[in-house]
Structure 1
Amino acid sequence: MNRRTGSYALACVLTAIVTLQSVYGANAQSGSGVEKKYRLFGEIFLRIQSDFVDSPDGEKLLDAAIKGMLESLDANSTYINPEAFHEMLFQNQGKYGGIGVDAVMEGGLIKVVAAVDETPAARAGLMPNDLIARIDGDEVQAMSKFEAADRMRGATGTPVTLSILRKGHNPFDVTLLRDEIRTQSIKWQILDLDIGYVRISTFTEGTQEELEEAVFSLKKKAGGKLKGYIIDLRNNPGGLLTQAVSVSDSFLDFGEVLSIRGRRAEHSRSFSARTGDLADGMPVVVLINGGSASGAEVVAGALQDQKRATVVGTKSFGKGTVQSIIKLGEQGGLKLTTARYYTPSGRSIESKGIDPDIVVVQEGKPSSLDYSLQSNQSITDVQLKAAIDILHGKVVSPAKSE
């Protein structure tokens, strides 16, 4: 890029700055510290363009500036390029291509929040808090979260190799075959002939409808003998907030579900339950763990605060912020943290998570769906066993798997 083109790019940036100054006003007065930094940025940009030893790409410089600005805010605010923006829309619809992992950027690495059920990531055994250090041999530290996500996506059947750092283990590589990810957010079954088990793996556009179908089927199959419900939110990374609120509402007759509080009035609101309890007032146990994040924490926190459910498992992830998606014309979009989640009692979820009512530690991957319903064999999933015992009226003490 020549100096003239670079100057044009800078002019566009400065025009945007002036526009933002006129819109927001704050700190935009002539001679203010912020305005001085604007001018300093422009001077540095032009100096790089004219004097750096190699001819720099002005667009890449500006991309790096945008990336650094957003990363200085928090781990969740980011620029989304057009391709990633399009892919994100597919994810919210419950269908996308890739390996099926939800993650955040932390310390320059990709931190796994959860692997979506029955995806290449889940089959490969990726676990919450795993750190992805390299993708196909390239250092993640040189990438943004969405650049890394782009690298993990690809054509069905093609391989991608991830270098994993896991606490207590030596670094290791795992090769996954990309697949078309079709996320069925809910699975259900009857446990012990009288317990309705509902597994919610993520919150997509169809989650509420799937939940209603699952509960209807459970009631019909149990023939009126249900004693309660287990809602399994373990390793659920979240998804659409509207669906998480709707699922919470499904088990509440009244009261607040969630409040969202931001700096600007339009980013703050509260959600209240409508009359009608899908479970007909029967006892509910919610299972959570360190991979339960965002929308999963909204559900667990709402039902816990409203005394509607007993929460069992281990502390959740602690992702309680709202990211507003701002479309930037044909240039993709901006994912910007604009508010935080608060449970009905006023607890902030961000960085704190939801503490279970009864702590039960499960070592290794839960195997609830492998539990034989027709026998009295021991259950290796101690968290699930605790939930069943609670609904059968037994006293449950904090437990740890052997």
Structure 2
Amino acid sequence: MNNSRLDDTAADSGAPTRPDKARSRAIRRVAVSAALAFAVGGGVLLGATGGGQSQTNSTDTYRQLSLLGDVFEKVRAQYVEEVSDEKLVEAAINGMLTSLDPHSSYLSAKSFQDMRVQTKGEFGGLGIEVTMENGFVKVVSPIDDTPASEVGLQPGDYITHLDGEAVLGLTLSDAVEKMRGKVGTPITLTIRRAEEEPFDVEITRAIITIKSVRNRVIQDIGYIRITTFNEQTTVGLQESVSEIKEELGDRLHGFVIDLRNNPGGLLDQAISVTDAFLERGEIVSTRGREEANASRVNATPGDITDGKPVVVLINGGSASASEIVAGALQDHRRAIVLGTQSFGKGSVQTILPLQGNAAMRLTTARYYTPSGRSIQAKGIEPDIKVELAKIEKIEEGRRRREADLRGALVNPDESDAPAAQPPAEVPTPGEAASAENEDPLEDYQLARAVDLLRGFHLFQNRVVN
């Protein structure tokens, strides 16, 4: 496209137009349409030489592309302010993609570079995974230990304004770009949460360095938290399992894999993480538009936990790659999934490079769990549903027991038993974790997962003995 020639196009104000001007405008419109036809249709005009339905389809396609070229010319010539060709073309491409589904989009050269940096585990921003819903930015999950999580953003929150500017009308890429900025600068988000009145939250931008896997020991249970699936995740999982094994040794009774508020990430990392727990069988299958392009991935021998029981924690912020892991381990009965229903993103996006260092994120397939389930818009249903809550100790007061009664019989096995003492406090899983790790275990879901694994270990020992 020759920009200098297009700059000569006169605005169509209703005044008579000289024949040469009208003719040149028509030629340019055809040129734009032909260029779009080539870019989108890959030479759609060649298809018109065939017969029957093929010719009709090609003609209709070219007519629509001609309409697009006509709109391009009119906007460029008559819009109230001058707009660059690049901006118009990018907007047209992005509009085409975002109209397909919430996850397809155009990536400018800068956005493409930012995405590549993010998958490596370090980037600048607020530390929040978002999607677009009903014209607003919806929080899928805040990332642990980032500005977004520190101010209390929650999965399901809607961001309606950025520094007082309405989000409605922006694309997801535009909104994300506005949330990014110079490290140390603040931004005010207007949040709408459930039935609450909208409120403002000020967040200071920071370098977001994601350590995607963390671990600790809770009593005799290994706890592993996976916050996202980036290039470091599988290595982090392997290191965490090794550290827990070394610390607990024979006292290790099982693992809790916490995928709550994990927004997903790289498909190959989700596959390798799942493979780490399975000896055999399918992990995930993907099915696209053409049956010939369907793929199936199977596990390789080797379970890094040596067959120890596993509980996987999920919630409404567990999406995409998290759901692949949870669904596969659930279908193979390798783990018990506990928590609440997951997000329900069952589609695969492929990054397709474009000219000028740009790219497009295009939904190319749906993925299915080993049993053939598509979780798109449904999510993973946990085996044991446990709502998020906090443990609160209730004081019962001092109660009298048999040993406190005057003249009570002495236990024959403890004839020299000391005088009755106040009953010992039995720690909850949270209290024990606090004493051992100086990190209070307050949430009810994690406490139930720990209880489940310890109960399973006790039951196994009694059956064996």
TM-score (norm. length: structure 1): 0.90
User: How many angstroms does 1:312 deviate by?
Assistant: 0.2
Do structure 1's residue 372 and structure 2's residue 374 form an aligned pair?
Answer: no
Farther-moved stretch of structure 1 (196-205 vs 40-49): 40-49
Specify the alignment match of 1:400 in structure 2. Answer: none
Question: Could you report, residue by residue, the CA deviation over 1:263-302 in whole angstroms, capped at 9, with x for unpaired residues?
Answer: 1357531110000001101110000000000010000000
Do structure 1's residue 340 and structure 2's residue 342 form an aligned pair?
Answer: no
Farther-moved stretch of structure 1 (29-38 vs 157-166): 29-38
Query: Hey, which of these two has a bigger chunk of strand by percent?
Result: 1
Specify the alignment match of 1:257 in structure 2. Answer: 283
Secondary structure (helix, strand or coil) at the match of 1:163 reads: strand
* CA distance in structure 1 between the partners assigned to 2:4 and 2:390 by the alignment: 56
User: How many angstroms does 1:71 deviate by?
Assistant: 1.8
* CA distance in structure 1 between the partners assigned to 2:279 and 2:137 by the alignment: 40
The verdict on how the C-alpha distance between 1:371 and 1:138 changes in structure 2, with shifts beyond 3 A counting, is farther
The verdict on how the C-alpha distance between 1:204 and 1:292 changes in structure 2, with shifts beyond 3 A counting, is same
Specify the alignment match of 2:44 in structure 1. Answer: 21
* CA distance in structure 2 between the partners assigned to 1:327 and 1:63 by the alignment: 14
Specify the alignment match of 1:200 in structure 2. Answer: 226
Specify the alignment match of 2:149 in structure 1. Answer: 122
The verdict on how the C-alpha distance between 1:222 and 1:72 changes in structure 2, with shifts beyond 3 A counting, is same
Do structure 1's residue 99 and structure 2's residue 101 form an aligned pair?
Answer: no
Specify the alignment match of 2:6 in structure 1. Answer: 4
Question: Could you report, residue by residue, the CA deviation over 1:299-318 in whole angstroms, capped at 9, with x for unpaired residues?
Answer: 00000000000000000001
The verdict on how the C-alpha distance between 1:373 and 1:213 changes in structure 2, with shifts beyond 3 A counting, is farther
TM-score (norm. length: structure 2): 0.78
Residue identity in the other structure for 1:66:
I
Secondary structure (helix, strand or coil) at the match of 2:64 reads: helix
- Residues 175-324 of structure 1 correspond to what in structure 2 (within 5 A)? 175-192=202-219, 194-264=220-290, 267-324=293-350
Residue identity in the other structure for 2:295:
R
Out of 81, 98, 111, the position equivalent to 1:84 is: 111
User: How many angstroms does 1:21 deviate by?
Assistant: 3.0
The verdict on how the C-alpha distance between 1:23 and 1:120 changes in structure 2, with shifts beyond 3 A counting, is farther
The verdict on how the C-alpha distance between 1:17 and 1:341 changes in structure 2, with shifts beyond 3 A counting, is closer
Specify the alignment match of 1:387 in structure 2. Answer: 449
Specify the alignment match of 1:355 in structure 2. Answer: 381
Farther-moved stretch of structure 1 (376-385 vs 330-339): 376-385
User: How many angstroms does 1:69 deviate by?
Assistant: 1.4
Question: Could you report, residue by residue, the CA deviation over 1:126-172 in whole angstroms, capped at 9, with x for unpaired residues?
Answer: 10011111111222123211111111112211111111111121101
Specify the alignment match of 2:20 in structure 1. Answer: none
The verdict on how the C-alpha distance between 1:162 and 1:89 changes in structure 2, with shifts beyond 3 A counting, is same
Farther-moved stretch of structure 1 (126-135 vs 53-62): 53-62
Question: Could you report, residue by residue, the CA deviation over 1:227-261 in whole angstroms, capped at 9, with x for unpaired residues?
Answer: 11000000000011100110000000000000011
* CA distance in structure 1 between the partners assigned to 2:314 and 2:373 by the alignment: 17
The verdict on how the C-alpha distance between 1:11 and 1:39 changes in structure 2, with shifts beyond 3 A counting, is closer
Secondary structure (helix, strand or coil) at the match of 2:132 reads: strand
Specify the alignment match of 1:398 in structure 2. Answer: none
Q: Gaps spanning 5+ residues in structure 1: where? A: 396-402
The verdict on how the C-alpha distance between 1:250 and 1:141 changes in structure 2, with shifts beyond 3 A counting, is same
Residue identity in the other structure for 2:340:
T
The verdict on how the C-alpha distance between 1:51 and 1:38 changes in structure 2, with shifts beyond 3 A counting, is same
Q: Is the 8 A contact 1:9 1:58 kept in 2?
A: no
User: How many angstroms does 1:2 deviate by?
Assistant: 7.1
Secondary structure (helix, strand or coil) at the match of 1:132 reads: strand
User: How many angstroms does 1:62 deviate by?
Assistant: 2.8
* CA distance in structure 1 between the partners assigned to 2:107 and 2:189 by the alignment: 22
The verdict on how the C-alpha distance between 1:171 and 1:23 changes in structure 2, with shifts beyond 3 A counting, is farther
The verdict on how the C-alpha distance between 1:10 and 1:139 changes in structure 2, with shifts beyond 3 A counting, is farther
Kindly tell me the number of residue pairs found equivalent between the two proteins. 393
User: How many angstroms does 1:33 deviate by?
Assistant: 3.1
* CA distance in structure 2 between the partners assigned to 1:368 and 1:271 by the alignment: 38
Larger Rg: 2
Q: Gaps spanning 5+ residues in structure 2: where? A: 10-27, 392-428, 458-465
The verdict on how the C-alpha distance between 1:334 and 1:219 changes in structure 2, with shifts beyond 3 A counting, is same
* CA distance in structure 2 between the partners assigned to 1:370 and 1:49 by the alignment: 68
Specify the alignment match of 2:22 in structure 1. Answer: none
* CA distance in structure 2 between the partners assigned to 1:341 and 1:37 by the alignment: 33
Residue identity in the other structure for 1:384:
L
Residue identity in the other structure for 2:171:
S
Q: Is the 8 A contact 1:3 1:50 kept in 2?
A: no
Q: Is the 8 A contact 1:134 1:140 kept in 2?
A: yes
Q: Is the 8 A contact 1:9 1:59 kept in 2?
A: no
Residue identity in the other structure for 2:445:
Q
Q: Is the 8 A contact 2:353 2:360 kept in 1?
A: yes
User: How many angstroms does 1:223 deviate by?
Assistant: 2.0
Residue identity in the other structure for 1:17:
V
Q: Is the 8 A contact 2:430 2:440 kept in 1?
A: no
Farther-moved stretch of structure 1 (30-39 vs 291-300): 30-39
% of aligned pairs identical?
A: 44
User: How many angstroms does 1:369 deviate by?
Assistant: 12
* CA distance in structure 2 between the partners assigned to 1:16 and 1:109 by the alignment: 31
User: How many angstroms does 1:61 deviate by?
Assistant: 3.1
User: How many angstroms does 1:24 deviate by?
Assistant: 9.5
User: How many angstroms does 1:9 deviate by?
Assistant: 5.4
User: How many angstroms does 1:10 deviate by?
Assistant: 5.3
